Amino acid sequence: MAKDLIEDVNRRGDGPPDPARASRGEKRAVLYRMTLPDHTCPSGLKARDLLRREGYAIDDRPFLERPEVDAFKRRWNVETTPQIWIDGERVGGYQALRERLGKPVRQKGETSYRPVIAIFAVCALLAAATTWWAAGTLLSVRTAELFVAFAMSVLGIQKLQDIESFSTMFLNYDLLARRWVPYGYVYPFIETGAGILMVAGALIWVAAPLALFAGTIGAISVFKAVYLDKRELKCACVGGNSNVPLGFVSLSENLAMIGMALWMGARALF
């Protein structure tokens, strides 16, 4: 069976099913992708979907067994699938297809604010939804309080997912963590815990001082690293594997914590 599959794949490159020949013509593409019993290639599905949305007539050639895939890779000297042919030439895989069609391609390690925007947008909507449910209004002082508290909690979750990576990145700029390394492991719990308590409006006498302490140290550290020392670093605000630049976003996070701590503390006292 395996021998027959390999011979069939070899014939695909030399006989009538040749992908270069089959892909010639306006809006025609040949797509080789894996649909094995234990694995359907997600990039292959994405490539097929993109080609369809762009109006291509697709000659879809799925591999059903592993020997087919191995023989195809040897035949065309490629390391991965899917592989796409358009207008008589091999384009490559899914990312190469996006480039060919003029679609944005995110490079590995590329700077992106998307994680921060997503977190802040969802937290703002959650805050508005909560105040609407509780008080029938979308915008109020409580909406602003909940937005900051939700953001603190979610950003804390991001750090807690991989606390080792976070602490490593955090040590690049946080002044206290560089003097006392365990603080890099404690910080996510401070931020998350303070945020949860502020959502509940409970134990503010604990939450407010913790948030004020962490926010002040963080703001000073970021300001020194970015605006005084002019260092170009990655921000650990959304976890240790983020590509968000250290700067305005990080400073805003810490200033929001300081403001929230002062506000909630004042409310608790007066």
**Which of 4-13, 174-183, 218-227, 235-244 shows the lowest per-residue confidence on average (mean pLDDT)?**
4-13
Backbone angles phi, psi at 203, to 5 degrees: 50, 45
Q: What is the reported pTM? A: 0.74
Q: In this predicted structure, what is the pLDDT of residue 12?
A: 45
With residue 201 as reference, give the H or E element that holds it. Answer: none
Q: Enumerate the domain spans of the chain.
A: 2-100, 114-269
Backbone angles phi, psi at 227, to 5 degrees: -95, -25
CB 146 within 8 A of CB 127: yes
pLDDT band at 245 (very low <50, low <70, confident <90, very high): confident
The string of pLDDT tens digits covering residues 20-42 is: 888 888 889 999 999 998 899 99
Q: Among 141, 133, 84, which residue's Cα sits nearest to residue 259?
A: 141
62 beta partners: 33
Q: Which residue has the higher pLDDT, 233 or 190?
A: 190
2-100: what CATH class? alpha beta
84 beta partners: 31, 92
Percent of the chain with pLDDT over 70: 91
Backbone angles phi, psi at 121, to 5 degrees: -65, -45
3-state SS assignment for residue 83? strand
